[in-house]
Amino acid sequence: MKFSISSVLATATALLSSASVVSAAATSTASASSSSSSSSSSVPEIVIKGNKFFYSNNGTQFFFKGIAYQQELANATSDTTFTDPLADGTACARDLPYLLELKTNVLRVYAVNTSLNHDDCINLFAENGIYIIADLSEPGLSINRDSPSWTIDLYSRYTSVIDQLQGYSNVLGFFAGNEVTNNNTNTDASPFVKAAIRDTKAYIKSQGYRSIPVGYSTNDDADTRGYLADYFNCGSEDEIADFYGINMYEWCGSTVNFETSGYADRTLEFENYTVPVFFSEYGCNVPQPRQFNDIPSLYSTNMTDTWSGGIVYMYFEESNNYGLVSIVNSKVSTLSDFNALSTKINAVSPSASNSASFTPTNTAQRDCPASTLADWKAASDLPPTPNQTVCDCMANSLECVVVDSVDETDYADLFSYVCNQIDCGGITSNGTTGDYGSYSFCSAKEKLSFVLNLYYISQKKSASACDFSAKATTASTQSAGSVCASIVSAAGSSGLNSISVTVTATGSSSGSSATGSSSSSKSGSSSSSSASASATSKSPAPANLPATVNVFGVQTAAALFAAFSIGLALVL
C-alpha cells in the first residue's frame, strides 16, 4: 500500500455542514501570531550552496562555532516540562559576554515555548552575530523511536515553532529530529522523521516564508551511521535533509589524533555529501577536564572542505558534567572546560571559500538503503502528510464512536479487543514495510472511533456491538460535501487504500470541488508494526460480547495503546 495526498484543502473553511474545518497548520499559525516577532535585528541570513554555508551579504563561508544552549528539565517551572532559553532576556544578556569570549556564532536550542516572546534574546544575539538553530520538538511532542508516528499533533507543534521563529533572520535552520534512530533496533523510526522534514519544508514554502533549511541531527552509531547518512540524502529534493548534523564524541583525551580518533574516517565518508555536514554536538568529556584537542583539526584543511564546524555540548553545567559554566543565583562562574575551549577556539581561523567562486562538485545524492538489510529496516516510502480535514471527514462519517467521557487511559483495552477482531491497518503505520493507514495520523480518539465503527459494521450493526460497557455509542453521520465524500471513498471502508485527492476551493463548501480515486484494497493483514492485529483467521465475537467482555490484560493493552499514542519522550 502506498498512501499519497497530492493536495488536500488546507485553507478552505466550512467543508463540513456542521462546522468549519481549519487545518492544523492554520491553527498553529494563529496561536503563535500574538507572540512572534515580525523581524529581527538586521543580520545577513545564512544560505546553503552545495555542501557549504555562506553569509548571504558577502558570500563568505560560514563555519559553526556553536554551543548547545539549554538547561536540563530539572530547571523547568511547574507549568512547563522544559526551560526555554530564548524567552528570558535578562539571562541572555547575562550570558552574552561569555558566549562572545568563546567566539560563539551559533546557539543550538532543543525546545522553545511557542506561547512566549523571544524578541529580547534573539534580537540581542542577532546584534552580536549569533545565529540560532532550533529543534522543532519538545518533551512530549516528538517522534518516539520506540513507537514512531507522524501525527497532526506533531505537525502542529513543528509548524508552530516555524511560525514563531521564521521572522528572525538569524534563525538559520531547524532540526526535525535528534537521534531518533540510535541503533539497529529502531531504524523503522526514520521514515517518520523524513516525513517531518518533507512536510516542514513544504510548510515553509507554502507560507511564503524565507527559505529556512530543515535538517536532522544523528548519533554516531557504528552499525547505522552509514545507512542513516544515505537515507536522509536519498530520494526527492523535497524530502531530503537540507543539512546533516552528527553528535560526535569520538575524540576523547590527548592520546588520539585526526587519524586515530575516527575523524579521518568520518571525513572520508562524507567527502562527497551533497549538503552541509557539521558536528551538531561534540566534546567528549572523558577524561575530565576537557581539553578540546579536536578543535584544531575540525577547523583545519583536514576537515573544512567537508565539515562546517560544530556545536560544543554544552553551556550549562548539569549532572552530566558537560557544562562550560556554573550558574548559581543567576551568577555565572566559568569552569575548566570554558577556559580550555576559549584557548582552542580563539586560536583557529579556518580557510574559507566564497560563494561567488565556489562551484559544488558533490551533486550525486545517495541511494536509499534497502529495508531488508541486517542493520537497516526503514522503508523508502514515507508516512502521509497529516491533515485534519481528512480526519474530520472520516469522523463525521461514523455510526459508532467512543463516548466523549471515556478517558484515554481506557482506550488501550478497547483497541486491544477490537483489533483482534478486525483489521486495524487503516489507523496504523509500519516504517519497515512502508504501509501507512489512511487515518494513521489522526488523534487516538478519532482512530479508536474508526475501528469501533468497523467492528460495529462487521457485526451487522447489532446494538450490543456499539456498547463496550457504555464506552461506545451510536452516532448520526453528518452530511458530507463533495470533498469529504471523495476523501472517505478514496480511503476505502477499512482505510487501507491509496488516496489521491484534488481539491479546488472558493472559500465555502458549496464552491468546493474534488475528485477522488481509490486503488485496490491492501491484503487483509494489519500493517501495524507494533500491534499484532489481523482480520485473517478471526471469528466474529458473539453479538452480546462487547457490552460485557473483560478484555485483554494490562501488558497487552498497554502495548497496543502505545502504537496509537503520540510519542511522549523527547529524544536527546
Annotated catalytic sites, by residue?
179, 281
What are the CA-CA distances from residue 261 to residues 269, 292, 322 (Å)? 14, 13, 20
Q: Using CB atoms within 10 Å of the CB of residue 328, give its burial: 0 to 12 exposed, 13 to 18 middle, 19+ buried.
A: exposed
Strand partners for 132: 107, 171
What are the CA-CA distances from residue 181 to residues 177, 189, 377, 433, 505 (Å)? 9, 6, 11, 16, 39
- DSSP per-residue string spanning 208-231: T-----EEEEE---TTTHHHHHHH
- Please give the single-letter amino acid code of residue 33: S
Strand partners for 49: 52
Q: Specify whether the CB–CB gap between 571 and 180 falls below 8 A.
A: yes
Q: How many CB atoms lie within 10 A of CB 145?
A: 23
Q: Is the peptide bond before 303 cis (omega within 30 degrees of 0)?
A: no
Question: How far apart (Å, rounded) are the C-alpha atoms in residues 121 and 368?
Answer: 40
Grid coordinates given for 68: 548547545
Q: Specify whether the CB–CB gap between 10 and 387 falls below 8 A.
A: yes
Please give the helix or strand (H or E) that residue 236 lies within, else none.
none
